[in-house]
Homo-oligomer: A and B are copies of this chain.
Amino acid sequence: MADRPTPTTIRDVADRAGVSTATVSRVLAGVGNARPDTVAAVRAAAGELGYRPSGVARSLRMQRTRTLGLIVTDIQNPFFPELVLAADVAARTAGYSILLGSAAYDESRTMHYLDLMVDRRVDGLIIASSQISAEGLRWLVASPVPVVILNAEPGGALATITSDNVGGMAMIVTHLLSLGHRRIAYIRGRPSFTADVPRLEGFRRTVSAAGIPERDAPELEGDGQVSGGEAAVATLLATRPDVTAIACYNDVTAIGVLRGLRTAGLRVPGDVSVVGCDDIDAASWVAPALTTAAQEKAAMGRLAVERIAAVLDDPDHAGPPRATMLPMTLRLRESAGPAPVG
């Protein structure tokens, strides 16, 4: 803790170098003309004093903070750290920093962060929140700063970057079908999750196109977390022990399913196949390793930052497509195998 000396200001540097604060500012910013000896004097003074300009004062004067707000649903879901890291890297190369908020599945926390970030005068906002209320949406549309929403349904008034959730889920369910499964359960996230509906739709479309009757494609509710997957699979086993494959809203849910199945003494993929969605790191950590559809998490984070930075650095930006869709990729691992015979 120690003493806390007043940080050196531009005035201290100016005095020491024998010039005005204006000159210090110009020299350090490298704008305008200055005699070489003046430059040297200023640089020396700044160096000796260990001068670091106050970002606060600069932000006030420049009316920009070079900070981007990023709100995620749940930093503990491994999906998000990867996205956050990519966003952070992209932000740094574009000269921005990230102010992070984790909503922890709580809509009121989302709103709290939104207010906080606007108070802090972030230059832009990235919302990677699974759920966003109507109130929140209105707020965002009226936001004083540029906003990008990740994994929301495109088409609204806001810029979006979205994985092809319908296609991704369709792809992986198609994979299950090709393995011979004909009774496939789907464990949803929470209905309020923005990606829940499209993924569910990808599932429904695919099974119905394959001629699977609705009753052989039961749907259960989860919560996007391990416990939800575990609970859902317990219910499923009690009501439809005849399903041979389970598709899940996300990998974390699938990991819960794996656990539940193991507790019940069922083998994966021998008795039941399981697939997830997202391709988080842990998908390849568990045994059996999860077959899943990969989202381009890093690209999402990077693109979101780049898009906002582009608008910010060029105010009359022509505006690239407001809605971007990222493809998903099938990752074949061990948790899905041929349907058991009989």
A-side residues, CB < 8 A to B, are: 1-2, 4-5, 7, 52-57, 59-60, 65, 75-76, 78, 80-82, 84-85, 88, 92, 97-102, 104, 112, 115-116, 118-121, 141, 143-147, 157, 159, 226, 255, 258-259, 262, 281-282, 285-287, 311, 315, 317, 319
Contact = CB atoms under 8 A, between A and B. Distances in A.
Contacts of A76: 78, 81-82, 85, 281
Contacts of A319: 1
21 contacts: A1-B146, A1-B159, A1-B317, A5-B144, A7-B144, A52-B118, A52-B119, A54-B60, A54-B121, A55-B120, A55-B121, A56-B120, A56-B121, A76-B78, A76-B281, A81-B81, A85-B102, A97-B99, A97-B120, A226-B285, A258-B287
Contacts of A99: 97, 99
A75 B65 contact: no
Secondary structure class of chain A's binding surface, majority of residues: mixed
Copies in the complex: 2
A84 B88 contact: no
Given A99-B97, A121-B56, A282-B282, A78 B78 contact: yes
Contacts of A88: 101-102
Given A1-B311, A88-B102, A226-B285, A54 B119 contact: yes
